[in-house]
Amino acid sequence: MRIRFTKMQGAGNDFVVLDELHGPLNLSAAQYRWLADRHFGVGADQILSVRPAPSADVDFEYVIHNADGGEVEHCGNGARCFVRHVRGRGLTDKRRIRVKVQRGVIELTEAEDGRVTVDMGAPVFELAALPFDPTGLTPVPAPRADGPWRMWPLRLTPNEALAPADQAQAATINIALVSMGNPHAVALVDDVERAPVLSQGPLIERHPAFARRVNAGFMQVVDRAHIRLRVYERGAGETLACGTGACAAVVAGIRLGLLDGRVDVATHGGRLTIEWAGGATDSVLLTGPAETVFEGSIDLPDDLRDPA
Ligand SMILES: N[C@@H](CCC[C@H](N)C(=O)O)C(=O)O
């Protein structure tokens, strides 16, 4: 089967965007994995499938798959790319677009300068929402934080698959937990460039306390309006930026008393701006760039199989 695609990126988090407005492609997990593969396919952190509105109160639906083929609830950088895609292709002339994703309905606005703001919905703190099983753990105060919120001391079990040098990184790490519709664990670090993202990220992602795995963020607080962030994404590994990860990190920083309500997030792929007023029903606003890289078409191999 030959399919057309658009390759996009938002702060370096990259996407293959598929147009399913005229009919479903019905791709399997193996086919999503192949499209995301940087050696044999197109290459992407996530695949976005744009679909017609399922109800009159929204303009479109889009579905998100991680590079490992799993479907996910939400994607902040993907949401901005989605807007640029539907507007760039003339699929809508609205600047404010309502779209259904697995997490619910989100609203997106494109500014004159091309940056897109996404109303990501309110963060959720119930452990069951991630889900996270706290059995046997006692929450601890965050270092240098004056807020009442607590972090969870997660014991990382060395993974025999890791090199001995990386296993030494495995220890107890304090994490804040936030669901942005998808699950995030956020650790505070002194220097994000020296943070053990590649060694501890996979251990956090697959820790047994997270039944559906988790995205692992490593946040360096620079001052009350600036952080540096790296995220080891569930189902994709470390990406150049993670939109929901930026939202979760800033929300965690605000609740811990370390950050104010508007924060610039420096990632390896660019700058994102996050705003949150701090109330239980207040939406998190995510602003950042979104660009088309190229368009193309590709033959999906016939012999791709999902594991039995
Ligand atoms: N890159 C995304 C998040 C994509 C989903 C995530 N890996 C998950 O599994 O929850 C973003 O920009 O938010």
**Residue 277 phi, psi (nearest 5):** -80, -15
Judge contact between 227 and 221, C-beta under 8 A.
yes
Mean pLDDT of 263-279: 98
**Average model confidence (pLDDT) across the chain:** 93
Ligand 1 pocket, 66 CB below 6 A? yes
pLDDT at residue 272, rounded to an integer: 98
pLDDT band at 148 (very low <50, low <70, confident <90, very high): confident
Answer whether residue 303 is part of any domain: no
Ligand 1 pocket, 44 CB below 6 A? no
Q: Is 243 annotated as a binding residue?
A: yes
Instruction: Please tell me the distance between residue 171's alpha carbon and the centre of ligand 1 in angstroms.
Output: 25
Mutate to test the pocket of ligand 1, among 14, 15, 75 (most ligand atoms within 8 A of CB): 75
pLDDT at residue 56, rounded to an integer: 95
Same domain, 147 and 229: yes
Judge contact between 255 and 247, C-beta under 8 A.
no
Answer whether residue 167 is part of any domain: yes
Answer whether residue 66 is part of any domain: yes
Return the active site residues.
Answer: 75, 242
Domain count, the chain: 2
CATH, residue 98: 3.10.310.10
Six-digit token pair at 158? Answer: 């060395």
Instruction: Please tell me the distance between residue 17's alpha carbon and the centre of ligand 1 in angstroms.
Output: 15
Instruction: Please tell me the distance between residue 97's alpha carbon and the centre of ligand 1 in angstroms.
Output: 20
Answer whether residue 301 is part of any domain: no
Same domain, 55 and 158: no
Ligand 1 pocket, 267 CB below 6 A? no
Residue-wise pLDDT for 88-132, tens only, equals 999 999 999 999 998 889 999 998 888 899 999 999 999 999 999
Same domain, 275 and 134: yes
Interface confidence (ipTM) of the complex: 0.99
- pTM exceeds 0.90: yes
- What is the dihedral sign for C-alpha 20, 26, 31, 32? positive
Q: Is 102 annotated as a binding residue?
A: no
From the list 278, 289, 275, the residue with the least C-alpha distance to 120 is: 275
- Structural domain harbouring 222: 127-279
Ligand 1 pocket, 243 CB below 6 A? yes
